[in-house]
Amino acid sequence: MTTVAVTSHPYRITPARVLRSEWHKLRSLRSSWITLGSAAALVLAVGIVMGATYTSGGGDSDVDTVVMVLYGTTLGTLCTVVLGILVTAGEYSTGMIRASLTAVPRRLPVLWAKAAVFAATVFTAMLATSLVTFAVAQFFLDDTDQAASLTDPGVLRAVAGNAAGTTLLSLSALGLGALLRSVPGAIGAYIGGVMVLPEVLSMLPYDAVDTAVRYFPTQAAAVLGSATPLPDAASNGAALLALVLWASAALLAAAALLRRRDA
């Protein structure tokens, strides 16, 4: 009788291996770290300027402290949004996506792994940046009416919400990149649909439109990054849910087309 030993295939595709592959691709690209570094530098630089130039009694005492010191997040988010688009659409422009989908024939695990690795990386980087920026800015604001601490009501939540908002906005951009498969097209769609469209709609004299605009991505992200409630804005829970739904919609639409279209 002949005994045949059965062993597991050493190259079997597993979720952990797909995740590790996507992490290797993200961290091995110089553009990834340049873009993330640029985002962090912009947030920190603007925070230092806001803290160093602020004086009490200048009429800005009613401005939310977290919003003021993390004002550079608006610029930093543009960097992470472009990175999210490059993570997906960039692979289509270089043709690297064919190798990725050949290695993982089921396709969808590639998209989910990209989203998971990207979201974890951006959230970690932006949370660390937000904490450092807040601490450095407060060094300058210590003797002003904008002095605050992470233990003050709503401050730590807003700092973490700032990072979460940036991450979810960037995740939506990643989904757009996978959906459109074009870096310029996805950037244009993001600027037009996420940044410009809400501003245009807000000028319309309809209450229903004003209510809907509150749940658009950039407006919802602003709510998460504020330690005090914003007037005529969504609640924190509703804003977070809206951002999750926007990001999910972009990724699910990309997943549906990924299964139907050739690479």
What ranges do the domains of the chain cover?
Answer: 15-260
pLDDT-above-90 percentage for the chain = 61
Average pLDDT, the chain: 89
Q: If you average pLDDT over residues 233-250, what whole number do you get? A: 94
Task: Report the alpha-carbon distance of residue 118 to residue 44 in Å, rounded.
Answer: 21
Instruction: Dump pLDDT digits (tens) for 154-191.
Output: 999 999 999 999 999 999 999 999 999 999 999 999 99
Q: Exposed, middle or buried by CB within 10 Å (0-12, 13-18, 19+), for 13?
A: middle
Which residues have C-beta within 8 Å of that of residue 141, sequence separation ≥ 6? 51, 54, 65, 69, 147, 148
How much is the pLDDT for 3? 47
How much is the pLDDT for 11? 62
Higher model confidence: residue 116 or residue 7? Answer: 116
How much is the pLDDT for 58? 66
How much is the pLDDT for 70? 95
Which residues have C-beta within 8 Å of that of residue 140, sequence separation ≥ 6? 48, 51, 52, 54
Q: If you average pLDDT over residues 20-42, what whole number do you get? A: 92
From residue 23, give the alpha-carbon distance in Å to each of 19, 44, 90, 220. 6, 26, 15, 29
Q: If you average pLDDT over residues 27-53, what whole number do you get? A: 93
pLDDT interval class at 4 (50, 70, 90): very low
Q: Kindly report the three-state secondary structure assignment for every residue of the chain.
A: CCCCCCCCCCCCCCHHHHHHHHHHHHHHCHHHHHHHHHHHHHHHHHHHHHHHHCCCCCCCCCCCHHHHHCCCHHHHHHHHHHHHHHHHHHHHHHCHHHHHHHHCCCCHHHHHHHHHHHHHHHHHHHHHHHHHHHHHHHHHHCCCCCCCCCCCCCHHHHHHHHHHHHHHHHHHHHHHHHHHCCHHHHHHHHHHHHHHHHHHHCCCCCHHHHHHHCCCHHHHHHHHCCCCCCCCCCCHHHHHHHHHHHHHHHHHHHHHHHHHCCC
Asked if the model's pLDDT at residue 7 lies above 70, the reply is: no
First to last CA, the chain: 48
Is this model's pTM higher than 0.85 or not?
Answer: yes
φ, ψ at 149 (rounded to 5°): -135, 155
Task: Report the alpha-carbon distance of residue 42 to residue 74 in Å, rounded.
Answer: 9
Instruction: Dump pLDDT digits (tens) for 81-137.
Output: 999 999 999 888 887 888 888 788 788 899 999 999 999 999 999 999 999 999 999
Which residue type, as a one-letter code, is found at position 237?
G
How much is the pLDDT for 186? 94
- By mean pLDDT, which of 9-13, 121-125, 224-228 is the weakest? 9-13
Task: Report the alpha-carbon distance of residue 84 to residue 99 in Å, rounded.
Answer: 20
Structure tokens belonging to residue 92: 């289509």
Q: If you average pLDDT over residues 10-20, what whole number do you get? A: 79
Asked if the model's pLDDT at residue 9 lies above 80, the reply is: no
Asked if the model's pLDDT at residue 38 lies above 60, the reply is: yes
Q: If you average pLDDT over residues 42-70, what whole number do you get? A: 87
How much is the pLDDT for 1? 43
From residue 31, give the alpha-carbon distance in Å to each of 3, 28, 38, 83, 184. 53, 9, 10, 8, 17
Higher model confidence: residue 14 or residue 166? Answer: 166
